[in-house]
Amino acid sequence: MAAPPMYHRRPRMPGLAMVPVHADLEDNDRRTAAPEKDTMATSSAEWDAFVQDYIDRTFAAQPHWGVFEGRHEFDGRLPDWSRDGLAAESARLAAERERAESFSPDGLDARQGFERDYLIAMIDGELFWRTTMEQPFTHPNFYAWALAPDVYVSRDYAPLEVRLRAYVRYAREVPAAAGHIRANLATPMPRTFVGLARTVFGGLADYYATDVVTAYEAVEDAALQSEFRAANDAAVTAMRALDAWFESLEADATDAFAMGAERFAEMLQATERVDVGLDALEAAGRADLERNLAALAEACAAYAPGESIPACLARAHAEKPVEGPVAAAARQLTELKAFVVAEGLVSIPGTEEARVGESPPHMRWNAAYIDIPGPYEDDLPSTYYIAPPDPSWSESDRNAYVPAAGDLLYISAHEVWPGHFLQFLHAHRVRSAIGRVFGTYAFAEGWAHYAEELMAEAGFAAGDAGARIGQLRNALLRNVRFLSAIGLHTGRMTVADSERMFREKAFQDPGNARQQAARGTFDPAYLNYTMGKLMIRKLREDWTASRGGRAAWREFHDTFLGFGSPPIPLVRRAMMGEDDDGSLF
């Protein structure tokens, strides 16, 4: 997750033109520049050792991250969220940045020089959220990822009994962690942050009490089951108490969520290396919104001639998947992958597939997501999750929340083929350990959103106006996120304004509009879907212009994905060379 202008220069990357982090899928080491001097060889060896040490130290300090990536020696551990522990981690990150910067680019080969800038950018992004924005003291979601035990429950990385032992160790740490969360977070808190916290921590309590218990029923070790019940009951109690504490904050909650323009600009530079002024950035987003609105009018003219756009969308939205969204998505994945292969849009490394399931309770604050095992895991499935509507909503709002078949088709493209899942198939195979482990919001979400539009451009579901409408509704949703993020955090837009814009410009149902407007307050970087897509489209246009245009799409996609998931401006400089004008949009 993770303003008018604070201009910063992007890091210079000598000698990087046309040298991706991995050069091709058959031999990831071929074409990597070789050291030419003994001094370079020494520095290069030291850099590679530093990278591995950095990853190991990061996983030791943030063990939940190591577990998620597949380093199970960290199982059952949570970070130290005491005030001293948080201060120590920020100090460590700052020191690691100094160490990385101390390596001269002149002593590194091209792959390592890129890694250096990539790693420094990752540290800058994390320090921005930890120290500049003080998220451990202001934002409940800072703690959410570490407290989600999905890895132990649903990822089959070890026998069930082994995973239960790891879960017991984890559950025993939850009460202390909950105490730190309550002690750290300042009050009063923005009301949307409180609402998010209640969804997350209340959802975790329900998840521990129901799904987790069911998941481990088959373990026959009576002593272990007794340990589990004691630890799990304590974790449930701690989460329910934390949820009750957040409930007590509702009466005094505020609307003071805005970062301000200067901080927003700093966020873009620190987390994505984007240094475009907000007026120019907003203009690019509005232009894309208008482009998609015009395309929607054209699609509706074909789908429902003579009807208004709202009437057209209402008709399209009524076309729900007959078998339900989970089963329909599973069928769609087969169709999407077959098209990617037939058209040769991008290489598919490996034979892994993604399965589809219903989102667990603590993750139902957004409509869909995918859980992809980390690069240290071995042949484990990814799961594409789809959220059911909130049962507390009215029947009409619940029905409206279920995606139409056309919408779901492009959600599936976003999450799996050729979106997130395919991107991570590439990222997990890059030579660079930094590229395998670290990533940016705009690269990951920008690629996934770009992938939706790519499928439509390439002719997927050609002639199916209902499917085209689904693709465009998804695009308009991201357009309004882009504009809402800027508007909400520069004070130009209220939450009600944002919700209205989601209804009127993205044509969202009431439930989705409420969720999306609220999300903009606690996820200011959700503009990265459209921002990343626009940067990728511009880079594709510029890079393929001298390489045959569309004929070079596959080469472009493979080269782009070969960098891992770094800030896109770094990729642009690497692919376009030092003489590029640097225009991102």
SS (H, E, C) 499-550: HHHHHHCCCCCHHHHHHHHHHHHHCHHHHHHHHHHHHHHHHHHHHHCCCCHH
Residues of the chain falling short of pLDDT 50:
1-39
C-alpha distances (whole Å) from 411 to each of 295, 326, 386, 482 are: 19, 12, 10, 18
Q: What are phi and psi of 217, to 5 degrees?
A: -60, -30
CB atoms within 10 A of CB 344: 11
Cα distance between residue 148 and residue 171, in whole Å: 11
Cα distance between residue 576 and residue 585, in whole Å: 14
Q: Is 277 left (phi over 0), alpha (psi -120 to 50) or beta?
A: beta
Cβ-based neighbours of 57, under 8 Å, separated by 6 or more = 92, 96
C-alpha distances (whole Å) from 559 to each of 25, 346, 423, 459, 543 are: 10, 10, 12, 22, 11
Q: Which of 76, 62, 82 minimizes the C-alpha distance to 126?
A: 62
Cβ-based neighbours of 210, under 8 Å, separated by 6 or more = none
Q: What is the pLDDT of residue 33?
A: 35
SS (H, E, C) 216-245: CCCCCCHHHHHHHHHHHHHHHHHHHHHHHH
Burial 465-496 (b: 16+ CB within 10 A, else e): bbbbbbbbbbbbbbbbbbbbbbbbbbeebebe
Q: What is the pLDDT of residue 403?
A: 92
Q: What are phi and psi of 62, to 5 degrees?
A: -125, 70
Cα distance between residue 156 and residue 165, in whole Å: 14
Q: What are phi and psi of 66, to 5 degrees?
A: -60, -45
Cα distance between residue 133 and residue 124, in whole Å: 12
CA 176, 180, 181, 187 torsion-angle sign: positive
Cβ-based neighbours of 477, under 8 Å, separated by 6 or more = 502, 506, 508, 512, 516
Q: What is the pLDDT of residue 41?
A: 56
CB atoms within 10 A of CB 91: 11
336 contacts 416 by C-beta, under 8 angstroms? yes
6 contacts 578 by C-beta, under 8 angstroms? no
Cα distance between residue 495 and residue 258, in whole Å: 11
Q: Which of 559, 585, 538, 581 minimizes the C-alpha distance to 114?
A: 559
Pairing of the two strands 354-358 and 382-386: parallel
The tokens describing 546, both together, are 């001298």
